[in-house]
Amino acid sequence: MTSIFFGNALALLATLANRSAPARRESGNVADGLDGMRLVRSALAAVREGPEAVVRSFAEQSLEDGNGGENILLFVSAGDELRCRQRFGHDVEHAVEMRVRLDDSSALVAHAWSARHAVFTSNDMSPLLPTERSGCAVPLIDNEAPIAVLYCGFVQQRSRRALERHCALAGEIAVPFALACERERDLARSLYDGLTGLLTPRAFRERLALALAEECAGGKVALWFVDTDRFKEVNDTFGHAVGDRVLQQMAELLRTHAVARTDFVARNGGDEFCAALIGITKTLAIERAQEFCDAVRAHDFGIPLRVTASVGVAAYPFDARTAAALLERADRAMYAGKNAGRDRVSFALEGRDSALYR
């Protein structure tokens, strides 16, 4: 991934150099002064923190340079709209939840998105915020396509030359912003399973270890280890596409039986899933696991075959004191349930034994 990351960086830098050269010559002091270089260094340093940090580096420098009353908004696409994702400045309360239709040619940011070049306020195109008298919108381009629009608005009328300078400076963050977006996507792929959207096994284990460390002072963490019963039969009979849909529905059922702000769930690989339930007793975790099993059995997966689940339950600190040991105990309990006929909940006992809930 690293080689791809920096290979794309070089390509993007070359593209940006070709695209921004005319603007730099026109504005004169951008390339020759220190503002552009300072901004690029700051933006590149922010890449690891994410796209929002890159935009923040631009906003902080722009607002620090004076020019009081400057408002800075970042718009990203969402379906057929551009939505305000970030906002900086004195009057940006007006921009909360601001949305602009992509086909609204009278809107500055939508026009910049479709035109793929900087656009300035004019008699036909007004600033975005009611307190402003002038502004400009700059599309941030990646691989010749816009990925966001950066808007700068001013409460006082600005000359065309001043607006061009702001556009040139805004364009300096296009490459760092694209790199940060790429890194964010790569990170998301490493954290979340592509099919179900649940955590990956590695991300789940890291988060579980952190949860155990944070709950050491008398806290409780329960773990479900879930197996989709007879899933091979589903794949063999109906095909892998149907099997994928079954897994997606299993993931959604698991989400609905977890507490969103505390619990976390993962696809452990294949047809196996895990869920960490934070701050509840082992008894309650077992009862909730049975409710999940009942919900899976009653769910219509859209195939003429009943899909069920076997769930093993283990709890910290009673059954294990490390994330790896807790997973191993819950996994062993789950297999005890499968060996007893599937479609049931089993749980870890003291030592290496397991017991069936029902």
- Each of the 358 residues of the chain gets a pLDDT tens digit; together they read 433 344 444 444 444 444 443 333 333 444 334 467 888 888 888 898 899 999 999 888 877 765 445 899 999 998 899 999 999 987 788 787 899 999 998 899 999 999 999 999 988 889 998 889 999 999 999 988 999 999 999 988 888 888 888 888 888 899 999 999 998 888 878 899 989 999 999 899 999 999 998 865 457 899 999 999 999 999 999 999 999 999 999 999 999 999 988 999 999 989 999 999 999 999 999 999 999 999 999 999 999 999 999 999 999 988 998 999 999 999 999 999 999 999 999 999 977 788 888 7
274 shares its domain with 176: no
Are 155 and 228 found together in one domain? no
Tell whether the torsion through CA atoms of 181, 66, 166 and 136 is positive or negative: positive
111 and 32 together in one domain: yes
286 and 300 co-located in one domain: yes
Q: What are the angstrom distances between the C-alpha of 347 and each of 219, 220, 317, 339? A: 19, 16, 14, 13
pLDDT of residue 218: 56
Q: What local confidence, expressed as pLDDT, does residue 11 receive?
A: 45
Verify that 183 and 199 share a domain, yes or no: no
Q: Residue 64's domain is classified under what CATH number? A: 3.30.450.40
pLDDT on residue 62: 79
The total number of structural domains in the chain stands at 2
Output the 3-class SS for the chain.
CHHHHHHHHHHHHHHHHHHHHHHHHHHCHHHHCCHHHHHHHHHHHCHHHCHHHHHHHHHHHHHHCCCCCCEEEEEEEECCEEEEEEEECCCHHHHCCCEEECCCCCCHHHHHHHHCCCEECCCCCCCCCCCCCEEEEEEEEECCEEEEEEEEEECCCCCHHHHHHHHHHHHCCHHHHHHHHHHHHHHHHHHECCCCCCECHHHHHHHHHHHHHHCCCCCCEEEEEEEECCHHHHHHHHCHHHHHHHHHHHHHHHHHCCCCCCCEEEEEECCEEEEEEECCCHHHHHHHHHHHHHHHHHCCCCCCCCCCEEEEEEEECCCCCCHHHHHHHHHHHHHHHHHCCCCCEEEECCCCCEEECC
pLDDT of amino acid 13:
45
Provide the domain limits for residue 203.
192-356
Residues 305 and 176 occupy one common structural domain? no
Last residue of a domain, one of 139, 154, 189: 189
Same domain, 181 and 276: no
Global pTM exceeds 0.75: no
Domain-terminating residue out of 189, 219, 252:
189
**Domain check: are 66 and 140 in the same one?**
yes
- Whether residues 117 and 243 fall in one domain: no
What's the CATH code of the domain at 298?
Answer: 3.30.70.270
Handedness of CA 154, 157, 158, 160 (dihedral sign): positive
169, 189, 209 - which closes a domain: 189
Same structural domain, 165 and 238:
no
- Give the per-residue pLDDT at 7: 43
Both 131 and 233 in one domain: the answer is no
Asked if residue 155 and residue 86 are part of one domain, the reply reads: yes
